[in-house]
A and B are shown apart, each in its own frame.
Chain A
Amino acid sequence: MDHQPATPKPTRVYYFGTCLVDLFFPDAGMAGIELLQAQGLTVVFPQGQSCCGQPAYNSGYRAEALKVARAQLDLFPGDDPIVVPSGSCAGMMKKHWPDLFHGEPDEAKAVQVASRVWELTQFLVQALEVRLTDKGEPVRVTWHASCHAQREMGVVDEPKALLRQLANVELVELAREKECCGFGGTFAVRHPEISAAMVGDKVADIAGTGAARVVSGDCGCLLNITGALEAGRQPVQGQHIAQFLKERTHG
């Protein structure tokens, strides 16, 4: 994936929280903001934001997706980076908005906005080159990579690099790290049995690492994985990476 040049380091960023974070993981969203603030950045959270449009886009309702995406466009004036605590929503904005707006009057604006989108961990590592100091107790964790973070945003090593900066955190990788957890947006309810089988394999993989926590960068996956961990009474906790990093570094 293309990366914007890391220098000069930005001083102001926009934050696009995403609808899932908004409704289910606001603390993770807040933690992301605080991680950025801890690096000395001014973080702007436009209150008019809602959703990137992905649910409708992936369901075949492009006009509806366009309407929602368009409602976000004017919230990010200027050139400041737009940081998103989700690989999936970042991928929607960066990769699919240009297609979605293709041939529309505001195509140029959409392309400009899309080009400024970063996934959170990618931004922390590549743009900010953060150095984290671990203040937590020893713990073993594993990392769940979201499909869109990996394959649309090209975020593979960044989150693991951040976890490895933490002295007391032992990262045990999954045997099938690249495999989808079975969330897939509406897929989970259109094909609940297959989705359950997929998350079943994922949970078994997680349990196999002996980790106390599974950390991920996408709330769709987390809803799915933590839901399955709970239903299966597994002692592993799921957590968004932003929140985990904040807990570890803020003491």
Chain B
Amino acid sequence: MADGTVDFAAASRAALQDPQLRGNFRRAMDGLMGKRAAQFPDAAEWRGVRELAAAVRLRALAKLPELLERLEENCSRNGITVHWAATTAEANAIALDILRKVDAKLVVKGKSMVTEEMHLNAVLEDHGIEVLESDLGEYIVQLDGTMPSHIIMPAIHLNTKQIAHLFKRKIKDAESREDAAYLTDLARRVLRAKFLAADVGMSGVNAAVAETGTLCLIENEGNGRMCTTVPPVHIAFMGLEKVVEKLEDVPPVISLLPRSATGQPITTYVNMISGPRKSGEKDGPREVHLVILDNGRSSIYADPELRDTLRCIRCGACMNHCPVYTKVGGHAYEAPYPGPIGKILVPQIEGLETRGALPHACTMCNACVEICPVKIPIVEIMGRLRVEAVRPGGAVKDGGAKASRAEAMVWSGWAAMNASPTAYRIATLAMSRLGNAAPSSLPLLKDWTRVDNEAVRSKPRFATRTLHDLARAKGIPDA
């Protein structure tokens, strides 16, 4: 939209009209939910490890400034250069600076949500640097010129046929074969040449260990290891909340993340980087840089209730289980983080002016809260953001941006009606007598009954006598 407001409703409408897309998501998410459930057959084990993982994340947040300092100290001792960026612009400048110093022309990237947040690829391309996403899903999305639709499975919105077409169009000598194994192998050949030639590899960080100065990355494909091991320079990007205190804090996180995300007991690779190539070593990057990004996180941290947002370990399970996400897919959110975590994180980072609609794109069903491996009270935070959206001032960027006199009047009228038994009796009497005469063309009723001019729901029918009436008539005692 022209004013920068992101229109979730319009974007989701487009998604809903695409049966292919809806089918792809429904199938994929059903599969993921089933696989996750199969990984937690023992409820006590789930509860225990989940409590532990939540405690680990909370302890990290409790000591956040100290742990970040310790992380920096130990990374430096290990030979990792640490950079700090308050904004995405600063982070991009840091990246460009490092690239310039090594005269980088080709960058290969492993999955990193933070660099999506930074729009780093576009920035690098503007500076004439070729940048290649190497996670297969990210690679597909990059070829397609679109955005990831899921934080773990970026190309989940496409099916094999669509990907085969894409490869045929974009990759020289690709055959038109709708065969995942063939397509995977094709990508392998293209990308291996790039890993070999790349000047710099970039990655995200799943957890950074303050105690040892270790960057942990988990992945299945080996592209993350390629990016962090083969090119002469590795730059890792992390949000400042990704730190954990001790090495021992990693196993609980690793225990839950892959099981929650994709229903596998563990990812193929757990890659723990504690420094560049040491003297005597024959491989590994000569330089490792860690860019620690704030981008609004410290403001989230400031509020004791909203702070819980920062526990997130980015497993994506909340989107897999979100009935809204599974209907509209990831692109409708127009943000690096879709689904429930996106609905609470993105408005806090980008502000309620442009993102104030997101916390309302939720039925508050709590499916995400039930499965979040670190017990983030997502829906409570969602409710809090709804408050902040209509309350000027407050803790969140652009607080009060969605305040509307008309809406406020509706709610104060509603409160007046429901807070007084007399007013309530009169109002319900009026509704039970007259409510059914309301035409379906009334604004809210119209939305309820028709979508795209198709009947989706019949009008709710008011009963002619309320329960109050019936109870009185049947002599049910009042006190």
- Answer whether A and B are interacting partners: yes
Could you list which residues of chain A lie within 8 angstroms of chain B, going by C-beta atoms? 15, 17, 19, 21-27, 29-30, 33, 42-51, 53, 55-65, 67-68, 70-71, 99, 147-148, 150-152, 176, 178-180, 182-201, 223-224, 226-228, 230-231
Closest beta carbon of chain B to A92's beta carbon, Å: 11
A contacts with B: majority SS: helix
Among candidates B327, B432, B463, B479, residue contacting A25 with C-beta atoms closer than 8 Å? B463
Q: How far is the CB of A83 from chain B (nearest CB, A)?
A: 13
Once bound together, how far apart are the Cα atoms of A51 and B468, in whole Å?
12
Q: Tell me, yes or no, whether B9 is within 8 Å of chain A by CB.
A: yes
Decide: B366 and A192 in contact? CB cutoff 8 A.
Answer: no
B419 lies within 8 A of A50 (CB)? yes
Within 8 A of A (CB), among B426-479: 428, 431-432, 435, 444, 447-449, 451-452, 455-463, 465-472, 474, 476-479
Q: Which residues of A contact B367 (CB under 8 A)?
A: 147, 151, 178-180
B387 — nearest CB in chain A belongs to which residue?
A60
**Which residues of B lie under 8 Å from residue A43 when comparing CB positions?**
476-477
Q: A29's contact among B13, B449, B467, by CB below 8 Å, is which? A: B467
B364 contact from A45, A47, A184, Cβ within 8 A: A184
Q: Which of B368-403 contact A (CB under 8 A)?
A: 369-370, 380, 383, 386-391
B391 contacts A68, C-beta separation under 8 Å:
no
27 contacts between A and B (CB under 8 A): A23-B428, A23-B466, A24-B461, A61-B390, A63-B415, A67-B419, A68-B419, A71-B419, A99-B380, A152-B366, A176-B30, A180-B365, A187-B360, A189-B444, A190-B360, A193-B16, A194-B16, A194-B324, A194-B361, A196-B457, A198-B323, A198-B324, A199-B456, A226-B458, A227-B458, A228-B456, A231-B456
Min CB distance A49 to B, Å, is 8
- Chain A residue at smallest Cβ distance from B328: A194
Q: Which residues of A contact B435 (CB under 8 A)?
A: 23
Contact B12 A26 (CB under 8 A): no
**Contact assessment for A47 and B366 in the assembled complex, using a CB-CB cutoff below 8 Å:** no
Beta-carbon contact of B460 and A197 below 8 Å: no
Cβ contact within 8 Å between A193 and B452? yes
Smallest Cβ distance from A162 to chain B, in angstroms?
21
Which residues of chain B in 83-98 are interfacial with respect to chain A, using CB atoms and an 8 Å cutoff? none
A208 to nearest B CB, angstroms?
14
Q: A59-B411, A194-B324 are contacts. A187–B363 as well, Cβ < 8 Å?
A: yes
Query: Which of B327, B380, B391, B417 contacts A194 (CB under 8 A)?
Result: B327
Contacting pair B431 A23 (CB below 8 A): yes
Residue of B nearest to A57 (CB): B383
Q: How far is the CA of A19 from the CA of B364 in the complex (A)?
A: 19
Once the chains are docked, how many angstroms separate the CA of A36 from the CA of B462? 25
A118 to B462, CA, bound (A): 26
Distance between Cα atoms of A9 and B13 in the complex (Å) = 52
- The reply to whether A227 and B363 contact each other, CB–CB distance below 8 Å, is no
* Size of the chain B interface, CB-CB below 8 angstroms: 72
Is A50 a contact of B458 with CB atoms below 8 Å? Answer: no
In the complex, B414 has a CB within 8 A of chain A: yes
A19 to chain B: closest residue by CB: B418
Among B323, B380, B432, the residue within 8 A (CB) of A182 is B323
Question: Closest 3 CB pairs between A and B?
Answer: A184-B363, A227-B457, A60-B386
Contact of B365 among A22, A27, A184, A199 (CB under 8 A): A184
Closest Cβ of chain B: how far from A157's Cβ, in Å? 14
CA gap between A111 and B88 in the complex, in Å = 44
Could you say which residues of chain B place their CB within 8 Å of the CB of A59? 386, 411
- Given A60-B390, A151-B370, answer yes or no on A180-B363 (Cβ-Cβ < 8 Å): yes
Contact A58 B386 (CB under 8 A): yes
Q: How far is the CA of A206 from the CA of B415 in the complex (A)?
A: 36
Cα(A170)–Cα(B30), bound, Å: 26
Partner of A61, one of B411, B419, B452: B411
**Which residues from B are CB-within-8-Å of A231?**
449, 455-458
B contact residues around A190 at 8 Å (CB)? 9, 360
Q: Provided the pairs A27-B463, A44-B476, A71-B420 are in contact, do residues A193 and B370 lie with their beta carbons within 8 angstroms?
A: no
Please report the C-alpha to C-alpha distance between residue A197 and residue B467 in the assembled complex, in whole angstroms.
32
- Which residues of B are found within 8 Å of A176, using beta-carbon distances? 30
Q: Which of A43, A61, A179, A198 has the most CB of B within 10 A?
A: A61
CA of A183 to CA of B30, assembled, Å: 21
A25 and B465 alpha carbons, distance in the complex (Å)? 10
Check A192–B478 contact: CB distance below 8 A. no
